[in-house]
Amino acid sequence: MDIGVISLIASIVAMLAAFYAVLVANENKRKPVKSETSSETRPLQLQAYERLVMIAERIGLPNIVSRANQQFAGSMGEMRTLLLESIKQEYDYNATQQIYVSPVAWEAIRNLKEQNMLIINQIASTMPADASGYDLNRKLMEFAMNDKKGAMHSIVLEALNYEAKKIMK
């Protein structure tokens, strides 16, 4: 065989190998690549759902009122401020968890926060200006026990549990 023929065959083989490499590279680009495996993100997601369950429990009306009642016995206005600030702090402290959970789960927490703050403000606005913090807490507990909106944290907890169980499957 002539050197020219051998170099021609070698060139053709090299060209075919390069063509094959380009095809394989393009095929890999078309396949969806997981940015992270589910085994890597699953613990973070479950931990975030645990945090959301904790915040839902902590900002639920019965729990926040009971914690505030033990800390403070001032005027109704001061108690209202304490309750609202406690809810805001819990929410703000856990805001980073929204990147690990579904938008629906985070929206449920945000709605719970907004609803409970609205309830506190509405009940406080119906009370006499000289009412005590204890009086406000008593009215809030009555509302939580007698009105479906007062138990919204239970509904949020059920939704969070459902979503976390989907991740565990």
pTM of this structure: 0.73
Strand partners, 1: none
The span from the CA of 167 to the CA of 153, in Å, is 21
CB 55 within 8 A of CB 94: yes
* Higher local confidence (pLDDT), 54 or 20: 54
pLDDT of 6 reads 61
The span from the CA of 148 to the CA of 38, in Å, is 37
Lowest-pLDDT choice from 10-19, 41-50, 55-64, 104-113: 10-19
pLDDT of 32 reads 47
CB 139 within 8 A of CB 122: no
Q: pLDDT tens across 12-47, in order?
A: 545 555 555 655 566 655 554 444 446 788 889 999
Report CA Rg, the chain: 29
Residues in the chain: 169
**DSSP code of residue 129:** T
130 CB-near residues (< 8 Å, 6+ apart): 75, 76
Average pLDDT value for residue range 6-14:
55
Average pLDDT value for residue range 90-96:
94
Residue 166: pLDDT over 50:
yes
Average pLDDT value for residue range 110-129:
94
DSSP three-state, residue 110: helix
The span from the CA of 109 to the CA of 88, in Å, is 12
pLDDT of 33 reads 44
Rounded (5°) CA angle 152-158-161: 140
Average pLDDT value for residue range 58-66:
91
User: Could you tell me the residue ranges of all domains in the chain?
Assistant: 1-33, 39-168
State the CB neighbour count (10 A cutoff) for residue 30.
Answer: 7
Average pLDDT value for residue range 85-90:
95
